Amino acid sequence: MEFLKQQRTLSENMPASTNSVLLFTANFLADSTVAANLSSIAYSHNLQGWLDPTQTFLVRKCMQVYANKCRSPDKRLPITPELLRQLVMSLVHNCKSHYHRVLLKAMYLLAFHTFLRVGEMTKMRHKTTNGLLDLTISKCKHHHGRNITIQVHANIRQYDFFAVSAMHAYTRINSLPHGHFVSFTDGSPVSRKIFTDNVRLSLFFTGCDTALYKGHSFRIGAASYATTLGLSESQIQSMGRWRSRPMLIKYIFEYRHLPF
């Protein structure tokens, strides 16, 4: 605390005020350094039974903004429609099993055209009713543990026709009427690792740098591509199930120069 008094960022009459703590954070560059020092301030105040100034609304919000500013840039690149086509074509060479080819093709296209996170897709369950495919995502991220359902049908205004065709082709060879939508012939689900390993293999076959593309690249590409189709930000946010706009805006503007 002596350092704080010398810098005159905190009053010599403790406990410290919110404004003093905010001025104190301006002395450091790294968010980890700020967090460590705030932890010390909080500990000393709690030890004395004083009100903790680091937990006030202003300090917490400033730390949130500070962490976002200091965060390393996202190096993941989006999967474009042309790259998606190449990934699907690579399955002919990478997969010996017909079932695996049909399965992965459906997963690639589904991930892109429905803005799915890899974790959502690998845990998704399905049910076919009256020709409609209901895909249920359990404990969807940012939805407070609630399940959400995506209904897929051959409506080319809402879904890409080839994605729908691929999914229906998969459901025809998947003999399991219910349960995990993406599963092997024995009913065991396709794990996140298996999916990402196959994506990496497909990327390697197409000559892409596998360090720059991840499973989330499908979702990033879907958001970026949707803007080129003239969809509004609110429409894309709803389709991708984003809780807030910042990450969506980041995807849209960071990759707007790429040829979609």
Q: Are residues 190 and 239 in the same domain?
A: yes
Q: Is residue 126 part of a domain?
A: yes
State pLDDT tens for residues 13-45.
Answer: 678 888 888 887 777 656 667 777 788 888 888
Nearest to 203 by CA among 94, 40, 72: 94
**pLDDT confidence of residue 156:** 40
Same domain, 171 and 223: yes
pLDDT tens-digit map of 192-205: 899 999 999 999 99
Is 32 inside any structural domain? yes
Question: Looking at the domain assignment, is residue 75 inside a domain?
Answer: no
Same domain? For 105 and 226 the reply is: yes
Do 189 and 91 fall into the same domain?
yes
Structure tokens at 10: 């905190």
Instruction: Residue 22: give the domain boundaries.
Output: 2-70
CATH number at residue 92: 1.10.443.10
One domain, residues 213 and 114: yes
Segment holding 137, helix H or strand E: strand 132-137
- Residue 128 has φ and ψ, to the nearest 5°, of -105, 125
Structurally, how many domains does the chain consist of? 2
58 and 156 assigned to the same domain = no
For residues 153 and 114, membership in a common domain is answered with yes
Q: Domain boundary residue among 70, 101, 130?
A: 70
Residue 76 lies in a domain: no
Per-residue pLDDT tens digits for 92-142: 999 989 999 999 999 999 889 888 888 888 877 777 666 666 777 776 665
67's CB contacts (< 8 A; 6+ apart) are: 31
Domain closes at, from 70, 97, 120: 70
Regarding whether 112 and 240 lie in a shared domain, the answer is: yes
* Helix/strand number for the chain, H first, E second: 12, 4
54/111 same-domain check: no
Same domain, 63 and 143: no
Confirm whether 130 is domain-assigned: yes
What is the pLDDT at residue 224?
A: 86
- Sign, CA dihedral 128-131-137-138, equals negative
**pLDDT tens for each residue of 155-191:** 444 445 577 778 778 878 876 656 677 888 887 888 8
Same domain (yes/no): 206, 133? yes
